[in-house]
Amino acid sequence: MSEVTLGIIGGGQLGSMLAIAAKKLNIKTVIFCDDINAPAENFCNNFVSGNYDDKKKILEFINQVDLVTYEFENIPFETLNEIQKLKPVLPKPSINRIIQHRLAEKDFVNKLNIRTTRYVSIEKKSDIDALEDFLPGILKTTTLGYDGKGQYPINSSNELGSLNIDFSKGFILEKLVKLKKEISIIITRFGNNKYEIYEPIENTHEDQILKYSKIPADIDEKIFNQSRDWAILIAEELKYIGTLCVEFFIDRNDNLYVNEIAPRVHNSGHLTINAYNVSQFENHVRAVCGLNQIPLKKISNAKMTNILGDQITHYRETQNFKQNEFFFDYLKKEIKEKRKMGHITTLI
Ligand code: ADP
Ligand code: MG
């Protein structure tokens, strides 16, 4: 397999870490990204820049690779579908199409008899009038949201008057869950009933952005098992190949809900790089490239802290990290407020 070249769409920190994992496996990578300054350029063998609907640039990209995967879900379905006519795309574009749309995603999960938050489709402002039942809630764009972007908390329907948003874009209103905790499960599926699953990770968000992740999660056995079972069911049902993350809510009565699915490697799994024998990134590359499956072994408990915005300056200047601390700088050229700039994993 040493001749395989993997194409990765998206050149952020996840693309970088996929490229680093691929290199370790002797797999070459070509990254395609719409940002000419994408950090993953530092880690891949070749880099092509262009818009995600630029047919000419995409052709230039796929001519250099044997198969294509992606680091984020918001790639136009048409683009992935066109690529698929020429080279294999994993996970399959049809899976991405479901998951990139919050409504289709939640409908899919509910059909499996898995609990989600209560939700309703909103196509125009007046749709919300009769929905006191879903309030307090969060109005979310059905597509293109991440790190809390495109989300509007709504406590009562009279708050809507002041909302200046274009409802034609498609929204979903979700009932607010009284959160006790958030966890995620990362699973890499290689084929029918063949998967590697990481233990539940406990996540803490600040301003809807992930701030801390840790293992073990402080949860009871029932939630531990149910979250695993649901993640396995979702991955099997999608016939998924590669690494997938399921984000969960736990409410104050210990009910478990699926919040959302990420058809890709996930920020909460960064600690798998140092805490497991095989990281979520390596497992993703192994699964999509058809390499062998290695049984997962935890090496250590761990805690990961995201470094946002100008917090990175302090870490960049720090020389003396402790032996159990692993600092990752995503090498993003521009520091922006709340932008994920790096992370630090501490083995505990
Ligand atoms: P994103 O795509 O931005 O990650 P999420 O739907 O995962 O969007 O929301 C980000 C965070 O906002 C969640 O992890 C959670 O902390 C909070 N949140 C979102 N929806 C709800 C909800 N219905 N009830 C309670 N908290 C929520
Ligand atoms: Mg989320």
pLDDT digits over 48-81, tens only? 999 999 999 999 999 999 999 999 999 999 999 9
Would the CB of 177 count as within 6 Å of ligand 1? yes
Q: Which two tokens stand for residue 1?
A: 């397999």
In the chain the first and final C-alpha atoms are separated, in Å, by 36
Task: Say if ligand 1 is within 6 A of residue 150 CB.
Answer: no
Asked whether the predicted pLDDT for residue 118 surpasses 60, the reply is: yes
Confidence at residue 306, expressed as pLDDT on a 0 to 100 scale: 98
pLDDT score for 147: 81
- Per-residue pLDDT band for 3 (boundaries 50, 70, 90) equals confident
The protein residue with its alpha carbon nearest to ligand 1, atom 14, reads 208
- The mean pLDDT value for 131-150 works out to 87
The answer, yes or no, to whether residue 1 has pLDDT greater than 50, is: no
Beta-bridge partners for 209: 206
Give the DSSP letter of residue 309.
Answer: T
Contact 295, 225 (CB under 8 A): no
Based on the number of CB atoms within 10 Å of its own CB, is 314 exposed (0-12), middle (13-18) or buried (19 or more)?
Answer: exposed
Task: Return the pLDDT at 101.
Answer: 95
- Mutation probe of ligand 1 site: the residue of 116, 143, 249 with most atoms within 8 A of C-beta: 249
Q: Which of 42-51, 67-76, 136-145 has the lowest mean pLDDT?
A: 136-145
At a CB cut-off of 8 Å and minimum separation 6, what does 2 contact? 26, 27
Q: In what order do the strands lie in the sheet with 171-175?
A: 119-122, 171-175, 137-141, 151-154
Q: What pLDDT shows up at residue 114? A: 98
Q: What is the pLDDT of residue 22?
A: 98
At residue 126, does pLDDT exceed 80? no
Q: In a 3-state reduction of DSSP, which class is residue 204?
A: strand
pLDDT (0 to 100) of residue 148: 79
CB 247 less than 6 A from any atom of ligand 1 = yes
The answer to whether residue 145 scores a pLDDT higher than 90 is no
Tell me the per-residue pLDDT of 153-192, one tens digit each, with 9 for 90 and over.
Answer: 988 877 777 777 888 888 999 999 999 999 999 999 999 9
260 CA to centre of ligand 2 in angstroms:
6
pLDDT at 55: 95
Closest atom of ligand 1 to 147 CA is: 3
* pLDDT bucket at 2, cuts 50 / 70 / 90: low
pLDDT at 325 over 50: yes
- Give, as residue ranges, everything with CB less than 5 Å from ion ligand 2: 247
Q: What is the pLDDT of residue 167?
A: 82
C-beta of 280 in contact with ligand 1 (< 6 A)? no
Task: Return the bridge partners of 258, or none.
Answer: 116, 248
CA distance 249 to 114: 12
Helix ranges, 25-152 (H): 55-62, 77-84, 93-99, 102-111
The 10s digit of each residue's pLDDT in 5-32 is: 999 999 999 999 999 999 999 999 999 9
Q: Cis ω on the peptide bond leading into residue 263 (within 30° of 0)?
A: no
How far, in Å, from the CA of 299 to the mean position of ligand 2? 27
User: What percentage of the chain has pLDDT greater than the value 90?
Assistant: 86
Q: Using pLDDT thresholds of 50, 70 and 90, give the confidence band for residue 130.
A: low
Walk me through the domains of the chain, giving residue ranges and CATH numbers.
Answer: 5-89 (3.40.50.20), 118-175 (3.30.1490.20), 179-347 (3.30.470.20)
In the predicted model, what is the mean pLDDT of the chain? 95
Closest CA relative to residue 158, chosen from 183, 193, 131, 185: 131
